[in-house]
Amino acid sequence: MITWELSDQPTLRSPARLKYDKARQTDLLLLPERVVNLNATAGAILWLCDGKRTVAQIIEQLETRYDQADLEADILEFLNQAADKGWVETWK
């Protein structure tokens, strides 16, 4: 399990890819031998996991986008779940 620091820069774990499905109007996470249909929140977080933005920047961008404060705990929980599933990783 990853202990996320606000300075970490999460990225999708290779070979995972994100794709927007226009027909379904939803984000998809493409993994070997399976596709995960993401809800809007999960998609919003994963699109920001580009290996350049820090966790702190992701939190700030989503709090601004959704005009909501105190999203840090929810975002960190999602990142932990995503890391446990092998979707994301970070460089320490």
Q: What confidence category does residue 92 fall into, taking pLDDT thresholds of 50, 70 and 90? A: low
CATH 3.20.20.450 fits 11-85, yes or no: no
Tokens of 82: 């995503």
Give pLDDT, residue 86: 94
Domain chopping of the chain, boundaries: 11-85
- Mean pLDDT to the nearest integer, 12-35: 96
Phi/psi region, residue 78 (left: phi>0; alpha: psi -120 to 50; beta: rest), is alpha
**pLDDT beyond 90 at 2:** no
- The answer to whether 35 and 29 are in contact (CB under 8 A) is yes
Percent of the chain with pLDDT over 90: 95
- pTM score of the predicted model: 0.93
φ, ψ for residue 85 (rounded to 5)?
Answer: -85, -5
